[in-house]
Amino acid sequence: MGSYQHINPLKETGSENKRAYLIGGGIASLAAAAYLIRDGHMDGNNITILEETPVLGGAMDGAGDAEHGYIIRGGRELEEHYECAWDLFSFIPSLNNPERTVLDEFRELNLAEPNESNNRLTHQCGQKADFSHLGLSNAHVKQITALILATEESLGSTTVEEFFDPSFLETNLWCFWRSMFAFENWHSVVEMKRYMERFMHMLPGMNQLKGILHTQYNQYDALILPLLTWLKDKNVNFDLGAQVTDLDIQLSGGTKTVTGIHILRRSKPDKIGVDENTLVFVTNGSMTENSTLGSMHKPAVLNRDTTRPGCWTLWKKIAAKDPSFGHPEVFCGDIDKTKWESFTLTFKTPLMNQFLKEFTGNDPLSGGPATGGVVTIKDSNWLMSWTCSKQPHFINQPKDVLVLWAYGLFPDNVGNFVKKKMSDCTGEELATELLYHMGLRDKIPEILKDANVIPCMMPYITSQFMPRVKGDRPDVVPAGSTNLAFLGQFAEVPDDCVFTVEYSVRTAMMAVYQLLGLEKEVIPVYPSKYDIRVLAAAAKTLTDGRPLPGQSIVRKLLKDTTLEGLV
């Protein structure tokens, strides 16, 4: 989409009478509210966000302090071509300088401090492992090519381990892939195909995380807080402690219309009437539903409760009303295949900073780059990855405090050093295992004497990756819907990839533009797979520089032309 489509839609007659209820307080709902105001010309007073918890931002969280420990359940890997996300933050003012936008400052930061990992893989207690190549054979490259050329319909609910030869799962590429994106062997190969195509332009820098962008602070402080501030300035209503339990939906003559919203507030039932001028946006499903926290001396207990009302229960009730509303059980029906555990480490000892200076060549406490993304421990029984982001990682973080984050994809495995399942470990035990893998075994007691480590177990954190077929996720605006839209990671968006901020913001833009009938196009997914330059660079990377079939012939044909040097 060129600049010709970057328009300001006209204010529609009657827009001042429109109301909107957004169910769920994550980035998808916040973005939808922003687009209702900017492009839909709705008054913020007529927009209400209904959120069960006392905190907005959904999975994009960040909380705590130096005394009690910081906590981030996870982080987002951002890149240049998050077209919808950067459109959103191009009009949200910076908290530091209202004359600048969040995007302005974000871009300047990444130009000044480009991301690059010099220690992507380790093994043998802190020794650098070879991460210079992807380790693919010609047979593996053929399988990847076949995946890219296959249709989603033909792949159906095939998993990664069903599609690829077992030897592929031992390659560096798969190690990079699963640790960057939290893919498991049993996850959807359709989603892997989407990632391959969507981020093809990132392949040449994948082994060093080049092209990954970072925020000044954690993504709650850096992205959610400025967005919330702007929405509050626009008088958007935030109804916290409001748990939506069901929707009344009238199905008639092929149309689908929400007529009521059922709510629990402090265990007391309530109902919001919905008329023809009211729009309803639902974030169906949640990656962080039923997340639990532990402490330095207590593990985070896995919450398997499926009876408590929550966003999954709400989606199940909605889905039972019409097949077009999706099949939530596909995503939330097997917790053991969707869970993993993370932990946030708060250090006050200079020993950890000294280790990081030696390990990375950078001084994290200087405010510059640190690890340059996740460091994956190849021989960890938990397949543990850890990172030290730009410090301070929180707005309120003292200058002499370090915050690290780590996660393990195999929480049911027994550790290499701590002989317990990861899921049974306290914060102290999780940190002990990590420090062992860092090569700091002899310094563990001294490093941990003033540390605070908070574990977090997330039953549904990769539920969006479960094998699926068409219809398992509802369309953003289902066929025949007059006022209902779905938002977030479990709504269907052609070509884009889940587990990204971009996906959530894209659903918000699609939902607002469709329900309001705006004559403005949603920004297309970046089409890197159609760029011959990207294809050539990706092919060269996948083969680790080995000559491609017919490469010498093509080079001769292109010699002394404008395309010389393409291959």
Question: Active-site residue numbers?
Answer: 77, 195
Q: How far is CA 324 from CA 178, 256, 313, in A?
A: 31, 10, 17
Judged by DSSP in three states, 261 sits in: strand
**Phi and psi of 64, rounded to 5°?**
105, -175
Find where tokens 């929180």 sit: 394
> Rounded to whole angstroms, how far apart are CA atoms 460 and 292?
11
Strands 292-293 and 63-65, sheet pairing: unpaired
**Site of tokens 């339990």:** 245
CA angle 545-549-550, nearest 5°? 115
- The first and second tokens of residue 136, run together, are 């693919």
According to DSSP, residue 235 is labeled T
Give bridge partners of residue 50 from the DSSP assignment.
23, 239
Sign (positive or negative) of CA dihedral 100, 102, 104, 110: positive
Burial 72-94 (b: 16+ CB within 10 A, else e): bbbbbbbbebbbbbbbbbeebbb
For residue 280, give the nearest of 297, 260, 264, 265 by alpha carbon. 260
Nearest residue to 201 (alpha-carbon basis) of 492, 555, 564, 527: 527
* Residues 6 or more apart whose Cβ sits within 8 Å of residue 541: 134, 203, 204, 206
Spatial CA neighbour of 244 closest among 328, 334, 306, 316: 316
| CA pair distance 438, 3, nearest whole angstrom | 49
Chain mean position to CA 444 = 32
Residue 18 has φ and ψ, to the nearest 5°, of: -75, 145
> What gap in Å lies between CA 496 and CA 503, rounded to an integer?
7
Cβ atoms within 10 A of the Cβ of 128, count?
A: 14
| Torsional sign, CA 539, 540, 545, 548 | positive
What whole-number distance in Å separates Cα of residue 47 and Cα of residue 232?
11
